[in-house]
Amino acid sequence: MKKMINVIMVVMMVFSVAGCSAKSTESNAQPQGESVVQTAQVDLKNVLSDINTQYADVTGNLRELSDVAELEKYYAVPTGAVKQFGAEIGSDTNAPVEIVLIEANDEASAEQIKQKMDIRYNSIYSMYASYSAEQLDTVKACKVEVNGNFVTMVVAPDYEGIMNIVNKAIAV
Amino acid at residue number 12: M
pLDDT at position 3 is 57
On whether the CB atoms of residues 94 and 135 are closer than 8 A, the answer is yes
pLDDT at position 15 is 55
Question: Where is pLDDT greater, at 21 or 94?
Answer: 94
Count the domains in the chain: 1
pLDDT at 162 over 50: yes
Q: Which of 13-27, 104-118, 132-146 has the highest mean pLDDT?
A: 104-118
Could you tell me if residue 10 is inside a domain?
A: no
Average pLDDT of the chain is 80
Could you tell me if residue 165 is inside a domain?
A: yes
Please tell me the distance from the alpha carbon of residue 150 to that of residue 101, in angstroms, as a whole number: 7
pLDDT at position 169 is 93
pLDDT tens digits, one per residue of 6-44 = 555 555 665 555 555 444 444 444 444 444 444 458 999
pTM, entire model: 0.73
pLDDT at 77 over 90: yes
pLDDT at position 28 is 44
pLDDT at position 131 is 75
Share of the chain above pLDDT 90, in %: 49
Could you tell me if residue 138 is inside a domain?
A: yes
On whether the CB atoms of residues 49 and 164 are closer than 8 A, the answer is no
Question: Where is pLDDT greater, at 128 or 167?
Answer: 167
Could you tell me if residue 123 is inside a domain?
A: yes
Could you tell me if residue 68 is inside a domain?
A: yes
Residue 35's Cβ-count burial label (10 Å; 0-12, 13-18, 19+) is exposed
Could you tell me if residue 139 is inside a domain?
A: yes
- What's the domain range around 104? 44-170
Instruction: pLDDT band for 62, please (50, 70, 90 cuts).
Output: confident
